[in-house]
A and B are shown apart, each in its own frame.
Chain A
Amino acid sequence: MANLIAELEREISGAKSDVLKRTVGVIREIGDGVARVEGLGDVMLNEMLDLGHGITGLALSLDETEVGVIILGDYTVLSEGDEVRGTGKLLQVPVGKGLLGRVVNTLGEPIDGKGPIASDAAYPVEKLAPGIMRRRPISQPVQTGIMAIDAMIPIGRGQRELIIGDRSTGKTTICIDTIISQARLNREAEMSGDTSYRPLFSIYVAIGQKQSTIARLIAVLEESGALPYTIVVASPAADSATSQYLAPFAGAAMGEWFMDHGMDALIVYDDLSKHAVAYRQVSLVLKRPSGREAYPGDVFYLHSRLLERAARVGEQFGGGSLTALPIIETQSGDVSAYIPTNVISITDGQIFLDTDLFHQGTRPAISVGISVSRVGSAAQLKAMKQVAGRLKGELAQFRELAAFAQFGSDLDAATQAKIDRGRRIIELFNQPQHDPIPVEVQVVALWMVQNGHLDAVHVEKVKDYQIRLTEFLTSSKAPLLAAIGREKALNDAVTAELQTAAAQFAALAG
């Protein structure tokens, strides 16, 4: 007994209560979601600050005698002279699979009323992009389910593909369709127990959008069953500019968690024009010098460091990937404005949506001429490459000939055939929204048109023909579709099978 007491006494006297060193400051100036704070000696860049009242701030500019702080939350309850405390932590958000199916704000707090989020990990919002040694070339496709994109502007996992166009030309729709397509593929693989398929999780970041737009979009995702595979990070127009500025970085942190854990993720930034505007506001109230169009000098770095975080990492690092689909809104088709040119030069290609095409009835209104994918073709399915390899060239030729043909009707047979083929391809690429087409069906449809099976079909009837063909394929030719998906290429056996299927369908259609 005496031994025990002596032992305890020794332990108690040996125990040291450590006193934590904290850094504090005082608000000197406050307004517009930005405060200037005196003191805060050892504060780090991007450190989270406790402003009291449960409000978090972020140290964004460290000056000689004071610190510029952006405030996340309601800054009107704060006043000059309030104490600010450093937390010693960088701004971080919760990450993990617990966020899937949820709608969160910039700080990762749920705003969908479904209760707290189960997450035990957190990632810093600002993180350095993976270096050269960690990266690997892109080799796996993202099947968007949009025929025009999968055939001509293929996107690979880990790529950054810009979606650019005027207002209401279907930019968001392309991204939502892609998210729905991923959810379908994920679910199919889950159902069939296919472990070789790598699921692709989606993150949708809404920056400065109307609350009603976001609500409608969430309803679409829910209806199509895509929400369980999606994280929605919402920073609507009513949010402060500071949280709009941070929202894409928070989304990227959530995506990086998937990448670091050997999984694949897709992130949509909707849209980066509004993000640049929010950053411009923050910079101007922080009194940073402004440059072209009043954007601060580091607006290029703002987007480049964000998009550089999309990558495909090597097998020894888990082999995960993060694909980014940033959206940029142009003013009357001007792609040479400041922010559009910046983001075009950062990304690995762009999909340009044209207002004129949209009003002519081409949906999605992709302008094939100036849309490119610089790396995606390496990831394209071989079967798709076989049927769609020359498509872009053929369509360019068609457009030239069609313009020429308007002046006269005397055309030689070869030219007329080219024009007819082009019309049918364009008709095939028309696609209603929120209805992704499986890649195998796309391959068969394109094979049919390339092999002249559609030449006898009237242009107006092409869409109808396509619908019946899809029905026929899914109902009675499932093994053929499975073979294309398995072989990933059109070898002799598959081609023979395709020929018999075409003959059968032709007989059926009579």
Chain B
Amino acid sequence: MLTAKQQQRQARQLFRLCLVNGVVDERRVRQIVHRGVAGGRSGSLGVMARFLRLVKIDRSRRAATVESAVPLPPALRAQLTAMLGQRYGEGTATTFTEDPALIAGVRIRVGSDVYDGSVAGRLADLEARF
């Protein structure tokens, strides 16, 4: 039986093996999980759970969401995608959503960074300042 520390270490090693130029390779992830589950070694499920968590964290770190009150024109979308790719590196998956509650402007979230340029956000800031 592996200790929690050993499981964490192995999960981290596996995760590092999945990286190709700093980006997670989906094929390798699938392969590892497949073999890990099929192998049936004691503690391998724990390692897999921890490995999955690392992948999840990496995914959320590279996921960019652009929220806007109205649908953005394709040209602007392309420009934003390119800009975010430049700033946060290759492999940044950008998704676009609409939220009328923002009133106007856009809010971009990449991982734990939030750029709030929406009117709703500014109003909330103003409220907090009072």
- In A438-482, which residues have CB < 8 Å from any B CB? none
Task: Name the contact of B54 in the complex, choosing from A22, A41, A42, A65 (C-beta under 8 A).
Answer: A65
Q: Interface with B: A13-21, A100-108, A165-173, which one?
A: A13-21
Instruction: State in angstroms the CA–CA spacing of A24 and B61 once bound together.
Output: 12
Q: Chain B residues near A17 (CB, 8 Å)?
A: 117
Q: How many B residues, CB 8 Å from partner?
A: 13
- In the bound complex, residues from chain A placing their C-beta under 8 Å from that of B53 are 65
Q: Is A314 close to B, CB under 8 A?
A: no
Interface-facing stretch out of B34-42, B66-74, B76-84, B106-114: B106-114
Chain A neighbourhood of B117, CB < 8 A: 17, 19
User: Is A41 within 8 A of B116, CB to CB?
Assistant: no
Which A residues touch B54, using CB under 8 A? 65
Interface residue? B57 (CB, 8 A): yes
Contacts of A495 in B (CB 8 A): none
* B57-A22 in contact (CB<8A): no
B96 is an interface residue with CB less than 8 A from chain A: no
Docked CA distance A17–B60 (Å) = 28
B9 CB to nearest A CB, Å: 12
A39 touches B112 (CB 8 A): yes
Cβ–Cβ contact A21 & B112, under 8 A: no
Docked Cα-Cα span, A39 to B112, in Å, equals 5
Q: Give the distance in Å from the alpha carbon of A97 to the alpha carbon of B54 in the complex.
A: 51
List residues of chain B with CB within 8 A of the CB of A38: 57
Q: Does A281 contact B (CB under 8 A)?
A: no
Q: Are B113 and A23 in contact (CB under 8 A)?
A: yes
A21/B113 in contact, CB under 8 A: yes
Which B residues are in CB contact (< 8 Å) with A19? 115-117
The answer to whether residues A20 and B111 also contact, given A38-B57, A65-B54, A65-B57 and a CB cut-off of 8 A, is no
Q: Is A40 an interface residue (CB 8 A)?
A: yes
Contact code string B54-68 (vs A, CB < 8 Å = 1, else 0): 100100110000000
Q: Which 7 A-B pairs have the closest CB atoms?
A: A39-B112, A41-B112, A19-B117, A22-B114, A19-B115, A23-B112, A24-B114
Chain A residues within 8 Å of B, Cβ to Cβ: 17, 19-25, 38-42, 65
A-B contact pairs, 9 of them (CB 8 A): A19-B115, A19-B116, A20-B115, A20-B116, A21-B115, A23-B114, A39-B112, A41-B61, A42-B113
